A = this chain, B = another copy of it.
């Protein structure tokens, strides 16, 4: 039977590859999503998710995460959670509850501690330095403080045709305390229905929630479109609509996977992602907006990967 997985950004690759071995062995999509996203949360050099994530304006790391089971529509989510090693695991556990399954702020952090999740100061020395440097730049050059909002989002299909989706992010760098984006919001940050497929989003959450694009992509796939056609048709017209009606539009990128293991991507900015299935080992790809509301997708180059590795580990001066 088919199994497959897709995840946002280069950072998804190692976690996705690890989770694919679970899917290959007959494991469930729900487990695969948690395994994969935990891996991303735990890696200190990814600066927009989990440990090592960039902090808010006060210098504190506040995180958002969500988990959705495509068989049952069960959703668990947290927004503005802090001092917890794996927000995705908290979100997954919350998805087991019919009530109180979306917790925010101090209530979310308290729930995690009360339920035995591992506490961790999520601010690395590196992230703290980046924050301090940014504060100085903003003060000196009067820059807009907001930058960087790369959510890891994953969609998985297992051999029993079960699907799941998850997201995790430390959100917008230098955000105001308590700010949340789309990542924990059903329909905007993620959506999955095992009878159809799933989608997740990354980018400026404030704009993504204006369009409910993850829901719309799944709906379009349900109407018979391929994941790629669904992504193109949901994303590019909405980008144009938002430019016209709101006057501007942030960066965003969406990924989709259907219940046949086929995937698609649409983006208004250079965007990397990872994907694999039973016929193809996980690979990293690069997507860019193409002509006439299409998406150009190509394998990532070795040079790009080397430059990326160098960039995320470069010393902070």
Known contacts A79-B79, A99-B172, A107-B176; is-contact A212 B212 (Cβ 8 Å): yes
- B99, B103, B207, B212: the one within 8 Å of A215 (CB): B212
Residue in A106, A186, A248 whose Cβ sees the most chain B Cβ within 10 Å: A186
Q: Render A170-198 as a binary contact track against B, CB cut-off 8 A, 1 for contact.
A: 00100111111100011110010000000
Q: Render A44-78 as a binary contact track against B, CB cut-off 8 A, 1 for contact.
A: 00000000000000000010000000011111000
Q: Are B179 and A107 in contact, CB atoms less than 8 angstroms apart?
A: yes
The answer to whether A146 has its CB under 8 Å from any CB of chain B is yes
Residues on the B chain within 8 Å of A246, using CB: 72-74
Q: Are A104 and B79 in contact, CB atoms less than 8 angstroms apart?
A: yes
Q: Are B177 and A107 in contact, CB atoms less than 8 angstroms apart?
A: yes
A residues contacting the other copy or chain, number (CB 8 A): 53
Q: Are A106 and B177 in contact, CB atoms less than 8 angstroms apart?
A: yes
The answer to whether A313 has its CB under 8 Å from any CB of chain B is no
Residues on the B chain within 8 Å of A74, using CB: 210, 246
Residues on the B chain within 8 Å of A98, using CB: 206-207, 248, 250
- Give CA–CA (A191, B181) in the complex, Å: 16
Residues on the B chain within 8 Å of A210, using CB: 73-75, 186
The answer to whether A108 has its CB under 8 Å from any CB of chain B is yes
In angstroms, how far is the closest chain B Cβ from the Cβ of A30? 14
The answer to whether A124 has its CB under 8 Å from any CB of chain B is no
Q: Are A191 and B212 in contact, CB atoms less than 8 angstroms apart?
A: yes
Q: List 29 A-B contacts (CB under 8 A).
A: A72-B245, A72-B247, A73-B210, A73-B246, A79-B180, A80-B104, A99-B146, A99-B204, A99-B206, A100-B176, A102-B205, A103-B180, A104-B104, A105-B106, A105-B107, A106-B177, A107-B176, A107-B177, A108-B178, A111-B176, A185-B185, A185-B188, A186-B188, A186-B209, A187-B212, A187-B215, A212-B212, A215-B216, A219-B219
- Give CA–CA (A162, B188) in the complex, Å: 24
CB-contacts of A152-182 with B (<8 A): 172, 175-181
- Give CA–CA (A218, B105) in the complex, Å: 31
- Give CA–CA (A71, B247) in the complex, Å: 11
Q: Render A97-140 as a binary contact track against B, CB cut-off 8 A, 1 for contact.
A: 11111111111101100000000000000000000000000000
CB-contacts of A209-224 with B (<8 A): 209-212, 215-216, 219
The answer to whether A242 has its CB under 8 Å from any CB of chain B is yes
- Give CA–CA (A216, B207) in the complex, Å: 18
Q: Are A178 and B99 in contact, CB atoms less than 8 angstroms apart?
A: no
Residue in A98, A175, A211 whose Cβ sees the most chain B Cβ within 10 Å: A98
Q: Are A71 and B245 in contact, CB atoms less than 8 angstroms apart?
A: yes
